[in-house]
Amino acid sequence: MRLDGVESTATTQAPLARRYRAPFGIPSVSQEEPSFRPGMYLQRVWRGPSWVNTAWLLAPAMRRLGYAEEADRVTASFVEVVEHHGFREYYNPLNGIGLAARNFGWSTLLVDLLENEQPLPEARANQGVRPQGVRPQGV
């Protein structure tokens, strides 16, 4: 299923590296935005820090749209920050420092990103075939 405008928006925004390409992850707001704050700042956490759950949503789409190298870079940057700071709630996109909650559950989505680096072909996805390494609960 394709949502109108999603592909055109992604292909327009992806080349704008100066806005969203950071050393670690993908900032939650453009780095050119006046309210951009890369770390913890007065509880305005969606104004700059990088979140693994956002990369989990964006990296597969980036691959499908031809930005596999950039998607791999984002995923690798999260591997690096998790190795140094553990599974944190979010990370400073400029220096990689882990911030807020420790052992934060949705940051473990990084494991899913690593396990499923290639998107499923449409035919397999529509047949309900699970990605390699994913087992039904209780097996």
Q: What is the pLDDT of residue 81?
A: 94
pLDDT at 31: 92
Cα–Cα distance for residue pair 14/115, rounded to 1 Å = 24
First to last CA, the chain: 31
pLDDT of residue 120: 42
According to the model, what pLDDT value does residue 109 have? 86
Instruction: Name the β-bridge partners of 90.
Output: 99
Count of CB atoms within 10 A of residue 46's CB? 12
Which residue, 104, 109, 103, 102, is CA-closest to 25?
Answer: 109
pLDDT score, position 132? 41
Name the token pair of 21.
């390409």
pLDDT tens-digit profile, the chain (139 residues)? 344 555 555 556 555 678 889 999 999 999 999 989 888 766 677 889 999 999 999 999 999 988 899 999 999 999 999 999 999 999 999 999 999 889 888 888 888 888 876 544 443 344 444 334 434 444 3
- Return the residue matching tokens 């944190």: 88
Q: What is the DSSP letter of 105?
A: G
